[in-house]
Structure 1
Amino acid sequence: MLDGALGAGKPLPASRALARSLGVSRDTVEAAYAQLHAEGFIERRVGSGSSVAAIEDFSRARRIGPVGGTGPARLSRRGSALFESGGVRETPVPMPFAHGVPDTRRFPLVLWERLERQVLKDSGSRALLHGDPQGAEVLRRAIADYINLERGARAAPEQVLVLTSSQQAMMLCALLLFDPGERLFIEDPAYYGARKAFAAAGVETVPIAVDSQGIVVEPILADPQAARAVFLTPSHQFPTGATLTLERRLALIDWAAQHQAWIIEDDYDSEFHYEGRPTACMQGLDRHERTLYIGTFTKSLFPGLRIGYVVLPSALVQPMTNARSLMDGHTAVIAQLTLARFMEGGHFGAHVRTMRGIYAQRRDVLVTLVRQHLGAWVEPQVPAGGLQLACMLKAGLSEDMVVAAARQAGVALLGLSALHAGGPGGAGFMMGFAAYTPLELETAVLTLARAFAAMSPR
């Protein structure tokens, strides 16, 4: 009736006939007709049966068309920016060489299930209730203990905010630390998720070049305009793999203290360092409390866990916690308590050490395969850590064509050019290796070699 399929005055079937047709009782049809009549949809007259009521609202609905129309939704400026960013989406089932993906097949799932059962047994229905927006105290303590010992941080449990991801941490930083139009220094190239988060919040991102020693600090120190913060991946720069030198770290810490600016440190995969000990985090060097340290368990354990964290300067703990509570309330309690037991029992450290050895082997296998089968087209940049390998294209191949041809062949490559904001960088792509066995790596490299060969001039 509302769509106009049954127009005004259209007679309805007799209740007895309709009941027989539908295989229901006549009382059911009579009850339905009575309800339609009570709501004004139909008219009923003794001896004339029932018909669709002539109501202006019906004809107007037909003229307007379906609810919602066909045009685009009217969004706010911030809503438009969020939409136009394209979001950050990961492949549910990654294919070689998806970057930043750990090997979930090696995760000790049986142990995790046992710890989760212990949590449910000990906590009972309390684990099913709302959690603390800042995070379970037992997990915050475990995180602080771990990063103080392994990353050289200076963190108290009261400074830790447990989140669902490092991406959420970046979005919180963008919303709480900046007004639209304020400036942020950011590495160039940089992680696309960070740039999208800040840009969507209306932040002006100022790209700063990266060299073999990390972000170049001279443009930051010499810039006469105020900037609210600098975003860094100092331990393992994404995507170049460079480590920020101590001299540059100290210079940025002094800059932040002098200008009352913030350092946003994303330590996304520092657990996996294959040559010597990893460099300590900047947060541990910063005695002025100007550094926000972001970490995640997505890469060290498994993406589906959805637990990340940020270690905050004391002055930001309550503002960030309040803002987080407006976003999604809190992180799942059962997962937090299970992770806390996993860490307290020494299982997290043991798992990381095991996977570090496996990933180092896979990195070496991939480097050998690339040099053997793709050496005519690319030059691998061997990383000291991380879950992916950067390859620079030699002359003769277009990055866009290479990435498209790989996708057509069932191989995922992340092009490097899109990660640059301050001008075109070197053409190349990222190859994730952590989630794939040596045989899977070999199969994918050979597939890529055939795709490259088909593109090359004969």
Structure 2
Amino acid sequence: MFKHSQLESVKAWLAHPAHAAMPLHARIQRAIRQLILDGALGPGKPLPASRALAKSLGVSRDTIETAYAQLHAEGFIGRRVGSGSFVAEMTEFTPRRRLSQRDALSRNQAPNLSKRGNAMFRGGGVRELLSPRPFAHGVPETRTFPLQLWERLERQVLKETGTQALLHSDPQGTEPLRRAIADYVNLERGARATADRVLILTSSQQALTLCANMLLDSGDHIFIEDPAYYGARKAFDAAGLECIPIRLDRQGLLVEQIMDEPRRAKAVFLTPSHQFPTGTTLALDRRLALIEWAAQHQTWIIEDDYDSEFHYAGKPTACVQGLDPHDRTIYIGTFTKSLFPGLRIGYVVLPPQLVKPMTVARTLLDGHSASMAQLTLARFMEGGHFGAHVRTMRGIYAERLEVLATLVSQHLSDFVEPRVPIGGLQMPCVLTSDLSERAVIDAARRVEIELLGLSALHAAGNGKAGFLMGFAAYTPIEIEVAVKKLANAFRTVMKA
């Protein structure tokens, strides 16, 4: 028979909530297996008869027999007619001793990571809210997405491609989608793209990681905007790059600072169409100067055009890539903001000489993107549905931005000054009261409102205190309710 402690161990395994989904016989089998692995049941030790163990555990004998049969099949126990069951003699295996207090403590110590692994871990990753709360930034409205149309197009793809859609796709991406993207960015963004220069990825974050690791070595310099998109900074930090911050003014990146900088850099990262987080647009003369500088120094321009579809005052400025005759610009786009995050499709338009190296490198990260989603999206774009959806959402978002700006002016004017952007999915607000940025963000979180602080987006964390308010995913009524909650939360903090 089992000792009392061994029987209690099995009972504890059966009762543990984490094991509730397992069949009863599997839980018993796992519990006994663990006793053997821990050395609590040594080689040659007899196991209780199935009838006796069934009675002790309050289960049927068949359940015990099924558990024993699985243990026997896996080689953990032996069984002989007339002699019962016993722990197998495993000569190549030494049962591990039970964890000492020191062993248990060591499990909670910092892992032994590589330098790059430590940089990635310390950076905290780029985490998105699974169920976004007001005013999470960069989240599009998904409740009005034309799901029925999408489902119909998906069925068409399945009908025409059959099981072919279930196989691996070209690592560069399906040709129909690459062609549709090239046509779109040429028409709407003034790009110089062809299908053979487009690489389909899962996200713009993957594109940034590829650029950081394929174009620069650890220790190399890269110019970045200050303030800058935190996902880009984290990708560059994780790759071991030294980021050199370049200030902005109302016309975007101060390109003359780059030209005067004594340190040489192999690349510059920017969001010229709608700078994150300030919302400024890079002036045309600066774009042209940057292009010539990159050509002269054989430096790469990494252009992140993350939400240029949503421009609320006139037409958006043509992308830098379309103005660059020297093929030094890498253009990054995504459907996360324009359609929905769950689609998991982004892309880069590459200089011809980078297409093969980037495609090969992409296969090391995740192989390829899902064929079904790519082919469905291609149909969505070819049929004019993407353009129609963007136009609809542009009108909705413009209205929501106006509502948010008005409500902030009405209810939060004692605390912040809104900086109404001409595009994008979020509005910056600069603190004008004595409240600290940290206190404001914590107060908002207590009432289930999400704000992104502005100061941390600056290289030294010393920019103007304030926060971003995402507005695209929330109806006017939801925005009003959340702004009033925020006002009450701020007043409570002021009184404290």
2:419 paired with 1:381:
yes
2:149 paired with 1:126:
no
Contact kept in structure 2, 1:388 and 1:430, CA below 8 Å? yes
Q: CA deviation at 1:278?
A: 0.6
3-state SS of paired residue (1:310): strand
Q: CA deviation at 1:20?
A: 6.8
Contact kept in structure 2, 1:170 and 1:197, CA below 8 Å? yes
1:296-344 residue CA offsets vs partner (Å, 9 max, x unmatched) = 0000001100111000000100000000011111111011111111101
Q: Report what 1:319 is aligned to.
A: 357
Q: CA deviation at 1:98?
A: 0.5
Q: Report what 2:196 is aligned to.
A: 158
2:413 paired with 1:413:
no
1:82-135 residue CA offsets vs partner (Å, 9 max, x unmatched) = 111111111111110000011001111111111111111111111111101111
Unaligned 5+ segments in structure 2 are: 1-35
Aligned mates of 2:204, 2:452 — CA distance in 1: 20
Aligned mates of 1:391, 1:30 — CA distance in 2: 62
Q: Report what 1:86 is aligned to.
A: 124
- Matching residue within 437, 441, 452 for 2:479: 441
Q: Report what 2:136 is aligned to.
A: 98
- Matching residue within 44, 61, 65 for 2:97: 61
2:228 paired with 1:190:
yes
Q: Report what 1:24 is aligned to.
A: 61
Tell me which amino acid in the other structure corresponds to 1:161.
Answer: L
2:17 paired with 1:6:
no
Aligned mates of 2:484, 2:259 — CA distance in 1: 47
Identity across matched positions, percent: 66
1:403-423 residue CA offsets vs partner (Å, 9 max, x unmatched) = 000000111100001101145
1:419-438 residue CA offsets vs partner (Å, 9 max, x unmatched) = 01145000000000011000
Contact kept in structure 1, 2:77 and 2:85, CA below 8 Å? no
Q: CA deviation at 1:5?
A: 3.5
Q: Report what 2:244 is aligned to.
A: 206
Q: CA deviation at 1:73?
A: 2.6
1:362-401 residue CA offsets vs partner (Å, 9 max, x unmatched) = 1000000000000111000010000000000003110000
Aligned mates of 2:111, 2:245 — CA distance in 1: 32
3-state SS of paired residue (1:104): coil
Aligned mates of 2:185, 2:375 — CA distance in 1: 18
CA pair 155-3 structure 1, distance change in 2 beyond 3 A: same
Aligned mates of 2:484, 2:425 — CA distance in 1: 20
Q: Report what 1:362 is aligned to.
A: 400
Q: Report what 2:438 is aligned to.
A: 400
Aligned mates of 1:317, 1:195 — CA distance in 2: 24
CA pair 250-244 structure 1, distance change in 2 beyond 3 A: same
Contact kept in structure 1, 2:166 and 2:371, CA below 8 Å? yes
Matches within 5 A, 1:291-310: 291-310=329-348
**How big is the alpha-carbon RMSD for the aligned residues of Structure 1 and Structure 2?**
2.6
Q: Report what 2:290 is aligned to.
A: 252
CA pair 423-75 structure 1, distance change in 2 beyond 3 A: closer
3-state SS of paired residue (2:320): coil
- Matching residue within 282, 307, 321 for 2:320: 282
Aligned mates of 2:439, 2:279 — CA distance in 1: 25
CA pair 63-156 structure 1, distance change in 2 beyond 3 A: closer
Q: CA deviation at 1:222?
A: 1.2
Contact kept in structure 2, 1:379 and 1:394, CA below 8 Å? yes
3-state SS of paired residue (1:230): strand
- Matching residue within 369, 378, 397 for 1:331: 369
Aligned mates of 1:52, 1:146 — CA distance in 2: 67
Aligned mates of 1:101, 1:248 — CA distance in 2: 30
Q: CA deviation at 1:12?
A: 2.9
Aligned mates of 1:457, 1:69 — CA distance in 2: 44
1:251-279 residue CA offsets vs partner (Å, 9 max, x unmatched) = 11011001100000000000000001110
CA pair 76-34 structure 1, distance change in 2 beyond 3 A: closer
Unaligned 5+ segments in structure 1 are: none
Tell me which amino acid in the other structure corresponds to 1:328.
Answer: D
Tell me which amino acid in the other structure corresponds to 2:41.
Answer: L
CA pair 250-60 structure 1, distance change in 2 beyond 3 A: same
Q: CA deviation at 1:17?
A: 3.7
3-state SS of paired residue (1:304): helix
Aligned mates of 1:177, 1:158 — CA distance in 2: 20
CA pair 317-243 structure 1, distance change in 2 beyond 3 A: same
3-state SS of paired residue (1:106): coil
Q: CA deviation at 1:239?
A: 0.4
Aligned mates of 1:323, 1:82 — CA distance in 2: 19
- Matching residue within 114, 120, 123 for 2:152: 114
Aligned mates of 1:30, 1:421 — CA distance in 2: 59
Q: CA deviation at 1:62?
A: 2.8
Aligned mates of 1:401, 1:3 — CA distance in 2: 49
Tell me which amino acid in the other structure corresponds to 2:390.
Answer: V
Aligned mates of 2:461, 2:128 — CA distance in 1: 26
Q: CA deviation at 1:77?
A: 1.4
Aligned mates of 1:272, 1:295 — CA distance in 2: 13
Tell me which amino acid in the other structure corresponds to 1:336.
Answer: Q
2:280 paired with 1:242:
yes
CA pair 55-425 structure 1, distance change in 2 beyond 3 A: same
Contact kept in structure 1, 2:178 and 2:195, CA below 8 Å? yes
Contact kept in structure 2, 1:15 and 1:29, CA below 8 Å? no
Aligned mates of 1:9, 1:347 — CA distance in 2: 70
Tell me which amino acid in the other structure corresponds to 1:441.
Answer: I
Higher relative contact order (CA 8 A, sep 6+): 1
Aligned mates of 1:30, 1:393 — CA distance in 2: 64
